[in-house]
Structure 1
């Protein structure tokens, strides 16, 4: 009888514990249902190329690109002092680096030109025009070629130089684009010129050295200049008016 009473007491205690455990589980489930769902924590995607924060919510929605987790619109990197000018990654190379490589190609296959044959450098023309139009890229390439040819000890004549210095309120100048102010007879035997055309990913530049009398091509080079290098050239006025193409102002001659 005593053992039966102990067994009955043990069974009753086990049942009581199980009932208490069941009631505790039910209470926890009810509390969980009553508590409002909390949104997921904001997670910033630092692996994105443009480092644009992406916020994850409970509905798996993402913030629009260009906005941070708090809805603020960020500004893209600006690498100039001109509003609306070149935006993008910082430049590691400029147009002079590409002209340097092209000059090495010209020197490698150049014929007849030596340290006794003066050479002139003209602007590069836009290929899909009447070859009488250029832009800021064509002008800067000519200036860079003058520098690179001089480094190779090739005699370069700047035919835009006048015989006097013009002193004005805007500055002191010796160069001019007025042909009436320039000499009509210069000892130029060869000329470096070329063309440019828009290409997928950049501007395809064709450079060549011609004989002034024979018109024979005595050297040639070709290179694709990426768009982000071309767009880094900023007009001095910084305007976007008619006659602008790809961020550079077109001009004749």
Structure 2
């Protein structure tokens, strides 16, 4: 009798579990049928600027954009030069020396035969659309900057414009000269760094190379575009020698 009761209880419990399972499955199906199917959403990617809330503009910012000071007076745009037509705008963050530094690294990277025992002379850079006997302030400053950069790489540089004496005048004490009669005619220069310049859209295209004095062979070369705002930052000295003008560029003998 006990065995019969236990078997009946087992059958009843099994049937109860099956009924509860069926009810659960039926409940899930009913819930699934009741949930409405939503249409697919178009996901739009927005930038961080769009996510940021719009900040109210201050009155000071508006007056600064209009070129007004705190009192409402209209001011002049910032001028970072003392000559008319030179670069106007933000202060310079780079100058000619920065571009010469990059060009010197290119020269050193592909340089041949030149070492710490071969002397180099540096000349002014000539304007490409002339007879190669004309230069300007940029060409002269390029040569000065290359002397500095080559010396940093421990390449021996000879300044052939140095005289054998110091000239003392009312204008100052000088050791450099451009008078070839005052300079030495025999110097141990084996290579020379020279180059050309040409006006390009957006700047001045500079070509630099190192030549063998005897072989005339190119042993290193570099090229770079110097922006106009960097070139215009070079300000000629007041009262400098009268130079001819060609296409808006002041020319002078090298």
Please confirm whether the aligned pair reaches a TM-score higher than 0.5, indicating the same fold: yes
TM-score w.r.t. the length of structure 1 is 0.70
Find the aligned partners of 2:123 and 2:131 in 1 and give their Cα distance: 16
Find the aligned partners of 1:139 and 1:203 in 2 and give their Cα distance: 14
**Residue matched to 1:106:** 107
CA 242–83 in structure 1, closer or farther in 2 if over 3 Å, else same: same
**Residue matched to 1:129:** 130
Deviations 1:146-192 (A, max 9, x none): 00000000000000000000000000000000001000111000000
Q: Is 1:223–2:229 an aligned residue pair?
A: no
1:242 Cα deviation from its structure 2 partner: 6.1
1:74 Cα deviation from its structure 2 partner: 3.0
Pairing 1:139-154 to 2, within 5 Å after superposition: 139-154=140-155
**Residue matched to 1:189:** 190
SS at match of 1:167: strand
5+ residue gaps, structure 2, are: 1-57
Q: Contact 1:195–1:206 at 8 Å: present in 2 too?
A: yes
SS at match of 1:147: helix
Pairing 1:64-83 to 2, within 5 Å after superposition: 73-80=74-81, 82-83=82-83
5+ residue gaps, structure 1, are: 1-42, 54-65
Find the aligned partners of 2:183 and 2:124 in 1 and give their Cα distance: 17
TM-score w.r.t. the length of structure 2 is 0.70
1:249 Cα deviation from its structure 2 partner: 3.3
Q: Contact 1:235–1:248 at 8 Å: present in 2 too?
A: no
1:72 Cα deviation from its structure 2 partner: 5.8
SS at match of 2:185: coil
Find the aligned partners of 1:126 and 1:83 in 2 and give their Cα distance: 22
Q: Contact 2:124–2:135 at 8 Å: present in 1 too?
A: yes
1:67 Cα deviation from its structure 2 partner: 8.0
User: Whose helix fraction is larger, Structure 1's or Structure 2's?
Assistant: 2
CA 83–190 in structure 1, closer or farther in 2 if over 3 Å, else same: closer
Q: Which has the larger radius of gyration?
A: 2
